[in-house]
């Protein structure tokens, strides 16, 4: 049996006719940027996220950069974040001229350890940038209290958290602004690149809209120094076809995660932990296991695709060595990076595929067969 980490074709097949019709309509009208599909998607995605505003942009990295620029984060400022993330989180901070300041992650969820945030705040701190990793949100209630005490911005990196919830509130509605990616493998993915900013702050939304389009509210009249980060109509049309299915797809992911957990129960494998008050949407299904690289090779031999998200924490990456961090500075992050493995996770996974993956994992770690799952 061959089981990929993600199978995009299985999701596309039942939507093919609708998507092709939407693409054809865009090409017939030939309004390819910031047209009716982008505007409609912004309204629909804002409603989905329980936010007042959504601004379609070119990708998730641009979403982060636009938010930071709109907040006037720049040289001399510090932004508190984590090193257990995709590089774009930190890249966006550095490209503003600001300095990323890292806190370690929680050993159970691998998310920002909010209890460490206060100790990292300095007079230069301007924002906190939590990463809602793997499909689960950081404790935004506790983080909001800290930010309000110190009058700091909160920027949600929600690029892996479409539809995730914390205490009944959706990702994208609890920070001052949030960045989403519509990269093709996300829970809500385009067929190429795309992204979005959500916020409840009207002035911040206005600035992001200008910045994504060369700093202008109307063509050739430029209030700000911006750049070209517009979401195109084709991707917006595709995303509009997919958005109505997102809650069902997320529910399927949660069902798959429950089956994985049951089938791996009693083995040495550490399965994902959902924090209290959270609704996880399992963008990735990330387990921890000793001899991770050997297990990955074993699974590859048995036709199972896997991933590592992420093998080298940002504070140990060569590109960010000038920040002055060394091995040992973030011990939980570093330990996790050596042990995590992403198993196949997509809505269209079948029970027998999950069982096959779990059986292969258990065989490697020497665990006996699980109790039969009805």
Q: What is the mean pLDDT of the chain?
A: 96
Which tens digits make up the pLDDT trace of 230-247? 999 999 999 999 999 999
- 223 pLDDT above the threshold of 70: yes
Q: Dihedral of CA 259/260/264/268: which sign?
A: negative
**Same-domain status, 220 and 127:** yes
Which tens digits make up the pLDDT trace of 295-343? 999 999 999 999 999 999 999 999 999 999 999 999 999 999 999 999 9
Has residue 238 been placed in a domain? yes
Is residue 135 helix, strand or coil?
helix
Q: What is the mean pLDDT of residues 213-235?
A: 95
- pTM, whole model, 2 decimals? 0.96
Has residue 76 been placed in a domain? yes
**% the chain with pLDDT above 90:** 96
Which residue reads 């994504």 in tokens? Answer: 212
CATH value at residue 189? 3.40.640.10
The region of weakest confidence among 29-33, 129-133, 271-275 is 29-33
**Same-domain status, 122 and 231:** yes
pLDDT band for position 285 (cuts 50, 70, 90): very high
CA distance 159 to 149: 27
**% the chain with pLDDT above 70:** 98
Q: How many domains does the chain have?
A: 2
**Same-domain status, 193 and 278:** no
Measured distance between the N- and C-terminal CA atoms of the chain, rounded to whole angstroms: 22
CATH value at residue 336? 3.90.1150.10
Strands (E) in the chain, as ranges, are 53-57, 78-82, 99-103, 125-128, 153-157, 165-166, 169-170, 177-181, 195-199, 216-218, 221-222, 278-279, 285-288, 340-343
- 200 pLDDT above the threshold of 90: yes
Q: What share of the chain is helix, strand, coil (3-state, %, to 5)?
A: 45, 15, 40
Has residue 370 been placed in a domain? no
Q: Which domain holds residue 334?
A: 247-365
pLDDT band for position 290 (cuts 50, 70, 90): very high
Q: Which of 192, 225, 244 is the last residue of a domain?
A: 244
**According to the model, what pLDDT value does residue 370 have?**
63
**According to the model, what pLDDT value does residue 34 have?**
87
| H/E stretch holding 241 | helix 233-242
**Same-domain status, 265 and 140:** no
CA distance 1 to 16: 26
pLDDT band for position 369 (cuts 50, 70, 90): low
Has residue 281 been placed in a domain? yes
pLDDT band for position 31 (cuts 50, 70, 90): confident
CA distance 238 to 244: 11
Please, are residues 354 and 263 in contact by the beta-carbon 8 Å criterion?
A: yes
Which tens digits make up the pLDDT trace of 141-161? 999 999 999 999 999 999 999
Q: Which of 205, 227, 244 is the last residue of a domain?
A: 244
């Amino acid at each position: 049996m061959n089981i990929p980490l993600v199978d995009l074709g299985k999701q596309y097949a039942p939507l093919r006719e609708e998507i092709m019709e939407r693409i054809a309509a865009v090409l017939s009208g030939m309004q390819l940027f910031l047209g009716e599909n982008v505007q409609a998607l912004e309204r629909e995605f804002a409603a989905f996220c329980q936010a007042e505003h959504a601004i379609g942009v070119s990708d998730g990295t641009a979403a982060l950069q636009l938010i930071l620029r709109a907040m006037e984060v720049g040289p001399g400022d510090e932004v508190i974040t984590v090193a257990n993330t995709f590089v774009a989180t930190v890249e966006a901070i550095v490209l503003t001229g600001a300095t990323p300041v890292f806190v370690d992650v929680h050993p159970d969820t691998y998310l920002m350890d909010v209890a460490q945030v206060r100790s990292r705040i300095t007079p230069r701190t301007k924002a906190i940038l939590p990463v809602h990793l793997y499909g689960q949100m950081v404790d935004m209630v506790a983080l909001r209290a800290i930010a309000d005490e110190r009058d700091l911005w909160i920027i949600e990196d929600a690029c892996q958290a479409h539809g995730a919830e914390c205490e009944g509130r959706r990702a994208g509605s609890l920070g001052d602004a949030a960045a989403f990616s519509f990269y093709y493998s996300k829970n809500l993915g385009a067929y190429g690149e795309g992204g979005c900013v959500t916020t409840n702050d009207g002035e911040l939304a206005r600035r992001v809209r200008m910045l994504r389009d060369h700093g202008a509210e109307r063509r050739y009249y430029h209030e700000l120094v911006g750049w070209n980060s517009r979401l195109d109509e084709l991707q917006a049309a595709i995303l509009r076809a997919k958005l109505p299915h997102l809650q069902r797809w997320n529910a399927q992911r949660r069902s798959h995660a429950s089956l994985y957990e049951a089938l791996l129960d009693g083995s040495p494998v550490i399965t994902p932990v959902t924090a209290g008050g959270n609704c996880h949407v399992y963008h990735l299904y990330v387990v921890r296991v000793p001899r991770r690289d050997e297990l990955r090779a074993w699974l590859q031999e048995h036709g199972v695709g896997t991933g590592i998200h992420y093998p080298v924490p940002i504070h140990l990456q060569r590109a960010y060595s000038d920040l002055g961090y060394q091995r040992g500075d973030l011990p939980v992050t570093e330990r996790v990076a050596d042990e995590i493995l992403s198993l196949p996770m997509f809505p269209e996974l079948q029970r027998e595929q999950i069982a096959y993956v779990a059986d292969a994992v258990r065989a490697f770690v020497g665990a006996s067969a699980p109790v039969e799952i009805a």
